[in-house]
Structures are given as structure tokens and as C-alpha cells.
Amino acid sequence: MKSMIIGGIILIIALMAGTYFAAGDAFIGDDYINSLTMLGAIAIITITVFVALKYINQMKNDTASGDLAEERWDGIGEYKNPVPTGWALAFIGSIIWMFWYFTVGYPINGFSQIGQWNEETIEYNQKFESKWQNPSQETLEAMGQSTYLVQCSPCHGVDAEGIEGKAQNLTKRIAKEQVVHVINNGSNSLTTAYPGGMPGGMAFGPDVDVIAEYVAGGFKGEQPAAYAVCAGCHGVDGKGMPYVAPNIREYDDALVIAVLKDGKKSNIGSMPSFDGRLNETQQKAIASYLRSLGE
């Protein structure tokens, strides 16, 4: 047992030294919360090691004793042993520490940098929405350009022509390859705005290329007969239906907002969701800016 205690003390010292080596800089300064956290870590390490040593020693040397409980499971019974004193003290101590921490150490009604940041963000968003409640088309496009350069240009490029093989060219409404990919594989990523999605294999054989050519070409020329399958959801003019299918003719507000919220999977990769990064006005501004690129 003596050697186990010595080993336990060495282990405690090693764990404490490792903790201080990894996070020692955090304990320099006037922030007493970090010091309390370190004390808590030391207490947990010490209690854990000595409780483990106690029960390892007990398993090695103790013999079963006491009254057996009446319940049996496959012939195996349990002794009516009391709750271990160390476990009970640690449990009660944890509860006392919790109440002290929430009321004195770091009160939940005290100042919080995160709370202050949230309040200031909400206040700023309210001012923003009030100021830009009815922006003109020119204002939307200018706002959309600045927002695009910050949020979208790292992948789609400052000129919006995309990165070949990685991000879509946004100066064009849609490429033929993308239409073919969606027809063959379906599209089920815009689940918030269009929960039904689109199954794959809506057209087969040469009809795939004919439809893709027509849609990518801006709905110009004679509409192919096979497009009737698409028109059932996207409409004859390709402008879509709310909650059914998106606009495949232009970047309207509903489509852009849906893509920003849910992300998008395409033939060249996946775009992550931007949900929570932009407010509604900024999302509409990006849509207006993208439409201006097409024009």
C-alpha cells in the first residue's frame, strides 16, 4: 500500500505539472476565475487518484461481507453495502461547489462579455433593419456587392466567375453540366424552402441534354416537349413555385435565401450553410447583386 501511495503522489504532481505547463499563462493576471479553475482541477486530480488507490487496495485485500439483498439475477446477488464515504463526500462537495460557483464565484446574474456582445449585436441589428427597411434597388446592389466581397468572393472570386472545379460561376445563371447533374441525381439540399426536393432521373436519354441546353440557354428558342416534366413543378416559364420548386431562370430572392440558409450540393462540390451570418436585408442584397451581374 505504501508504494501505491507514493506512486499516487507522483502521479498527482505529474498531472498538476502537465496542467500548469499546458495552461500556465492563463493563471497570470487578475482573473481569479482561472485560479479557481486550477484549484478545482487540483482537487479533482487529488480526489480521483486517492479514491482510485483506495478501491484498488480494497479489491486486492478485502473480502465480501454483510447481508445479501433478496433480489437475484441469474443466481447472482448483491450485498447491502453502504454508500462509500469518499464517493458520498465527493458528491455532496460537488453540489456545494456548484451552488457556490453560480452564486458567488461566477454569479449567473453578473456581468458577461458574451451577454454584452449579444445585447450590442441585437441593438445593432435593430438599427440596421430600421435604417434599411425600404432600400432602393441601387442601394441593394451596392450593399450586395460589399457583402458578396466579404462572404462569397473567397470561393466564387471577386469577379464572381468562380473557381473552376470548386465554385460556381455566378455571372451565368446556370451551366448545362449543372442541369444535367440535377436531372440525373436530383436535388434535396434546399429542404427549408422546398421540402419536397427533386428525385433523380426525371428525364432519360437524349432528353437530358435537350432540357439542359434549353434551361442553360435562358429558356430561349422552342421549348422541348420533354420540359413538360419539369414544368409541373418549376412552371412553364421556369420561375418555380413557392415551397415546391425553385426558380431556375434567375437568382430570385427566394432561391438565394434558400441556398444561403441550407447550403447547396452541385456537380462540382458542396457549399456550406451561411445560416445566421447574414440578416434578411443582406441576403436580398446579394440576390439583387447577382441578378445585376447577369444583366
Cα(276)–Cα(264) distance, integer angstroms: 16
Q: Collect contacts of 211-216 with beta carbons under 8 A, ≥24 apart.
A: 211/179, 211/183, 212/176, 212/177, 212/179, 212/180, 212/183, 213/176, 215/174, 215/179, 215/248, 216/173, 216/174, 216/175, 216/176, 216/178, 216/179
Residue ranges per domain, the chain?
2-111, 138-294
| pLDDT score recorded for residue 28 | 63
108-112, 164-168, 202-206, 213-217 — which is least confidently predicted? 202-206
The most confident of the ranges 38-52, 186-200, 216-230 is 216-230
Taking the CA atoms of 209, 212, 216 and 222 in sequence, report the sign of the dihedral they define.
positive
Question: How many helical (H) and strand (E) elements, i.e. helices and strands, does the chain have?
Answer: 11, 2
pLDDT of residue 207 exceeding 70, the answer is: yes
Residue 112, SS3 per DSSP: coil
pLDDT value at position 35?
Answer: 76
pLDDT digits (tens, 9 = 90+) for 80-120: 888 888 889 999 999 999 999 888 888 877 888 888 999 99
Model-level pTM? 0.58
Tell me how far apart the alpha carbons of residues 201 and 208 are, in angstroms, rounded to a whole number.
9
Where are the alpha helices (H) located in 198-279, listed in sequence order?
Answer: 206-216, 228-234, 253-262
pLDDT at 29: 63
CATH fold for the domain made of 138-294: Cytochrome Bc1 Complex; Chain D, domain 2 (1.10.760)
At residue 256 the predicted structure's pLDDT band, cuts being 50, 70 and 90, is very high
Q: How far is CA 209 from CA 178, 179, 203, 215, 231, in A?
A: 11, 9, 9, 10, 16
- Per-residue pLDDT at 76: 83
Maximal C-alpha separation, the chain: 93
